[in-house]
Amino acid sequence: MKSNILSGLTVGIVALPLSMALAIATGVPPQLGLYTAIIAGFFASIFGSSKINISGPTAAFVVILIPIVQEFGVSGLLICGLLSGIILILIGVLKLGTIIELIPYPVTVGFTSGIAVVIATFQIKDFFGLTIENFSGSYIDKIIILFNSFHTFDTAELLTGLFTLFLLVLWQKTKSKIPSALIALSFATVIVTFLNMNIPSLNISTIASTFSYEIGELKGNGIPPIPLQFTLPWSYLNTDDINLDLFYKLLPHSIAIAILGALESLLCAVISDGMTGNKTNPNKELIGQGITNIIVPFFGGIPATAAIARTVVNIKSGGTSKVSSIVHSLFILVSIIFLSSYLSYLPMASLSALLFVVAWNMSEVKHFINIIKVAPKDDVYVLLACFSLTVLFDMQIAVAIGIGLASVLFIKRTIDLYSIELINTKTSAIHPNIPENISIYDINGPMFFGAAQNALKTLLNANEDTDVVILNMQNVTMIDMTAMVALKSIVDNFKRKNKKLIFSGLNARIVKKLTKAKFEFDDINLKTFDNLEDSINYSKTVI
């Protein structure tokens, strides 16, 4: 119990500034990130399958959430989170979690590397203290805006960011158990507060100088010193704006959030299971994440998922049960109530420096370069496509096309496993005296819509002098409707030419399926036998 409490406190220290930084990066007030960490850390651990995963706002979501906030505001974001929770529950109930786990590695690396590039790019504004009134548009538009605004950079902001970044990197190399974020941000906050008080002309940006709040009669700058409050996700909208058309517009974004959240959660589970030897149930984990994302918006939180970095910190700090995640949530809750005024002094440039480190850690540069060097060309093309789409367009498009590319890649490689080969010369050594007008084809692998066309072409081009064709299908593991239609076309073609077709070695399940599809195995032109020897012996008697 003691180790879990201590690990929960350690993770809480890491999650506290990171949750605020991620919320700011998304385009919402920092306290919404804190609310997310509190609710997600508690409910995901209660309802999920993993004992040690820590859930909350993550860097992976930043890219996909920014355009939602810009177009639909905070309420649109909260509604998207609610809808994504429902979708995640459906994915878990339908037991699709195991399928999502099979997303190819180049796809996930392309996503995460692209997200890292976008996050790092968006931190340039606060890190350099650039004066930009309207930082919106496509990725290229924002690059142009940043480039044109560099003459406005603030030396004090830049030095603050560099100092924080230096401490973050230096402290990590010491291998100390004290989180680097605590050391770097604490020193930076104290120094910036001192400078702002004694040299007002510097005016280094902080959370307090950037954000304000108004909750009832309570007004102020920075982070409101109040615990969680129940709120309806659509409360920021006018009644006339709440209609089916709004939900239709938000649904594609919600699906993208759900898919990305599922990928991130299951990837986190795979990593944590590998480190601890535990076994996470993927479908139960997704249901837990779904329930969490339904609850989070009612407390003003943004979409959440399992966070890999915080989970690794939890494991390395001695976390072994769900207690650590709950303690991490309680720590953040207590911090809001008692330390909100101090947290508001955090410099914006320091939070940008923290996100630079997060972006670098999730960029997987080594894996990205390794895939390009050693992977097959198909994998490289998929990697570059997912990366480019994530950076240049948005995650909604990237997720849709990425999943599509993964499916195409899977189909192509499954087709590659399929083969159909004329084996008369090989078989004659075992079965001598095979007449020349008997052709034996060996079929291996699953027969589905891609492979079926290959079989159709091969058999229809068979030697015209052949009277009997034997299909050795003992290694055919499955057959789909397209393949059955192709086989039926072959059967009908052979009947017209008065040729005989024999299926050899089919398993009982496939025979039953073909029988239901009206394959007449008692017909003189179509037979089925359990093994190749019986098929050959029968063929010799009918020619």
Tell me the three-class secondary structure of 226-246, residue by residue. CCCCCCCCCCCCCHHHCCHHH
The whole domain housing 140 covers 2-411
* 446 in the same domain as 404: no
Phi and psi at 474, nearest 5°, equal -70, -20
* 385 in the same domain as 429: no
What average pLDDT does the segment 281-307 reach? 94
Looking at the DSSP bridge assignments, the partners of residue 422 are 441
Count of domains for the chain: 2
**Mean residue pLDDT across the chain:** 86
* 401 in the same domain as 457: no
pTM across the whole model: 0.80
What average pLDDT does the segment 302-310 reach? 92
Which residue has tokens 């009277």?
467
Predicted pLDDT of residue 42: 95
* 512 in the same domain as 534: yes
* pLDDT tens digits for range 439-489: 888 888 777 766 666 666 676 666 667 788 888 888 888 888 888 888 888
Predicted pLDDT of residue 26: 93
* 482 in the same domain as 389: no
- Report how far Cα 518 is from the mean position of its chain's Cα atoms: 43
* 342 in the same domain as 260: yes
For residue 354, which of 5, 10, 15, 11 has the smallest C-alpha distance?
15
Taking a C-beta distance cutoff of 8 angstroms, is the pair 188, 163 a contact?
Answer: yes
Measured CA to CA, the distance from residue 78 to residue 80 in angstroms comes to: 5
Domain-terminating residue out of 411, 446, 471 = 411
How many CB atoms within 10 Å of residue 531?
12
How many CB atoms within 10 Å of residue 82?
20
Task: State the pairing for strand pair 212-215/438-444.
Answer: unpaired
18 vs 496, residue with greater confidence: 18
* 474 in the same domain as 352: no
Which residue has tokens 């968006």?
122
Contacts of 492 by beta carbon, 8 Å cutoff, 6+ apart = none
* pLDDT tens digits for range 368-413: 998 899 888 888 888 899 899 889 887 778 877 887 887 777 777 7
- Out of 12-16, 63-67, 427-431, pick the least confident: 427-431
* pLDDT tens digits for range 242-252: 778 888 899 99
Measured CA to CA, the distance from residue 538 to residue 522 in angstroms comes to: 14
Predicted pLDDT of residue 240: 64
H-run or E-run covering 261: helix 244-276
Predicted pLDDT of residue 276: 83
Measured CA to CA, the distance from residue 213 to residue 203 in angstroms comes to: 20
Phi and psi at 367, nearest 5°, equal -65, -40
* 428 in the same domain as 307: no
Domain-terminating residue out of 391, 411, 431 = 411
Domain-terminating residue out of 411, 440, 475 = 411
Confidence band, pLDDT 50/70/90 cuts, at residue 163 = very high
Contacts of 493 by beta carbon, 8 Å cutoff, 6+ apart = 460
* 522 in the same domain as 452: yes
Predicted pLDDT of residue 455: 67
Q: Hey, CA dihedral for 306, 60, 287, 233, is it positive or negative?
A: positive
Confidence band, pLDDT 50/70/90 cuts, at residue 106 = confident
Highest mean pLDDT among 197-201, 237-241, 434-438, 520-524: 197-201
| Helix ranges (DSSP H) in 363-480 | 365-374, 377-392, 395-417, 424-427, 449-460
Residue 160 confidence (pLDDT) above 60: yes
CATH number of the domain encompassing residue 442? 3.30.750.24
* pLDDT tens digits for range 179-223: 899 999 999 999 999 999 999 888 999 999 999 888 777 888 989
* 17 in the same domain as 143: yes
Residue 215's SS3 state is: strand
* 456 in the same domain as 327: no
* 493 in the same domain as 344: no
